[in-house]
Structure 1
């Protein structure tokens, strides 16, 4: 691989103004892709994200809005992205998380998590995959979770949505496996399944553990890691970004239908 191997390609990364999505978008930008960033962001946040993509090496960058709980908003997002050139690379990263015991999950909790974490990915994939197949190249990278492979208590909607995303990705991978060639790059659909990663999404869980440890955040983080992640180390979002960059490369034409854990040994237990 060389530093410009995504030149001429266009990527759309949902939920990419911060966290894992931002790191993935930056990684794709570093290989010369045009990068569409997306999120529920203020104008300043959107401008900063676009500027960061250009600074990382993106041939061009643009911000796209759209509430992924709303099918009409998703349709508008995808039409706007298509008018901009159409995604050759789609990364479904946007996600919601809320911890609650099974009996405490509300209908709104359930509906919002399923809508953003699963249904939105179905709708974006349904839009782009036939177009990718017609071009002979396409990459769909779904940021699932270790909770798409194993379950934990107090996360029923989240686990259900991520298991669903892994299954959805496998079906799409099979249906589009014959599209394109090795030379064109083919069309692949894969999941990345992070364990504990340093993002704002898990901050409420860290704070809850810290409170149980007398307010000591470091102790709370250590307690959280010790329960599930054998390395007892958090992942950095940039590590996820580099894996996504590899999956987007032409050399990854035969990696499809995979769910790759980045979990410090969590699912090896």
Structure 2
């Protein structure tokens, strides 16, 4: 039996990487999917058609999640077309690596908007629909950097710590309405976002790109492997299931032992 049959899920940043994996897994579990991302129209349509083959309804919106008006328009329109909005996964994120004293102001503003403010915008917009049904699941894809810090990532660490705090506050606000809010805190996942960091990290740490993975990316992983997209998708679906009716306000680590140290 499909665990999300009849539900509708919005996953931000869902055309690649973690978000794409979650969208695919949820479609396989019977959910209608609202895709969001800034890829080219051709790439977005290819993803939409691929997921639609699973038999669910799939919509796509090229909304800037850092823009409150675009977020509100996307959510209102999708709810009208699909009739409900039961699950929200805040996954959209960007990264930039630079020492704090030379960190560009515009990069700070962009990371805070995309990685933190966007989650507030989406949560605020979906809650009326979830409250009306007295059921909802909100999962924020945070990071181990929502629990611990690393050098040269001031904006990202600040945003992810903020996202964990937002998770806890939102969970308390909506507990009486049958809505749960949780965060997942992955370690390094082998995604395009992480691959993009390799050259930046090499420059920042004065290492070759071949040295960066073992010496920087996986240095804090007790299990010397990347976390996989499939593992995060499985955890997300579990948090959206009825088995997690009373699991709320948590930040769950899937970080290969990083935050245990």
Shorter-chain TM-score: what band? Answer: over 0.9
Aligned to 1:78, the other structure's residue is in SS state helix
Selected match of 1:82 from 79, 82, 87:
79
Selected match of 1:233 from 205, 225, 232:
225
- Other-structure match for 1:151: 149
Matches of 1:119 and 1:147, distance apart in 2 = 17
Would you say the 8 A contact 2:218–2:225 is kept in 1?
A: no
Would you say the 8 A contact 1:225–1:232 is kept in 2?
A: no
Deviation at 1:214, TM superposition (A): 4.6
- Other-structure match for 1:131: 129
Would you say the 8 A contact 1:197–1:234 is kept in 2?
A: yes
The TM-score with structure 2 as length reference comes to: 0.93
- Other-structure match for 1:63: 60
Matches of 2:109 and 2:200, distance apart in 1 = 24
Matches of 2:84 and 2:33, distance apart in 1 = 11
C-alpha change, 1:37 and 1:226, in structure 2 (3 Å) is closer
Matches of 1:16 and 1:149, distance apart in 2 = 24
Selected match of 1:223 from 208, 215, 218:
215
Selected match of 1:193 from 154, 169, 185:
185
Would you say the 8 A contact 2:64–2:70 is kept in 1?
A: yes
C-alpha change, 1:151 and 1:58, in structure 2 (3 Å) is farther
Selected match of 1:248 from 219, 233, 240:
240
Aligned to 1:36, the other structure's residue is in SS state strand
Would you say the 8 A contact 2:96–2:156 is kept in 1?
A: yes
Matches of 1:106 and 1:225, distance apart in 2 = 23
State which drifts further: 256-265 or 73-82. Answer: 73-82
Unaligned regions of 5+ residues in structure 2, if any? none
- Other-structure match for 1:37: 35
Matches of 1:165 and 1:58, distance apart in 2 = 33
Deviation at 1:230, TM superposition (A): 1.3
The TM-score with structure 1 as length reference comes to: 0.91
The superposition leaves residues 108-146 of structure 1 with CA deviations (integer Å, 9 ceiling, x where unpaired) of: 111111111111110110111232122021000100011
State which drifts further: 170-179 or 13-22. Answer: 170-179
Selected match of 1:24 from 22, 25, 34:
22
C-alpha change, 1:5 and 1:234, in structure 2 (3 Å) is same
Would you say the 8 A contact 1:29–1:59 is kept in 2?
A: yes
In the alignment, structure 1 residue 11 sits paired with structure 2 residue 9: yes
Deviation at 1:69, TM superposition (A): 2.4
Matches of 2:239 and 2:219, distance apart in 1 = 30
Would you say the 8 A contact 1:11–1:90 is kept in 2?
A: yes
State which drifts further: 127-136 or 116-125. Answer: 127-136
Aligned to 1:227, the other structure's residue is in SS state coil
- Other-structure match for 1:172: 170
C-alpha change, 1:13 and 1:58, in structure 2 (3 Å) is farther
Matches of 2:229 and 2:64, distance apart in 1 = 23
Segments of 4+ moved more than 4 angstroms: 208-215
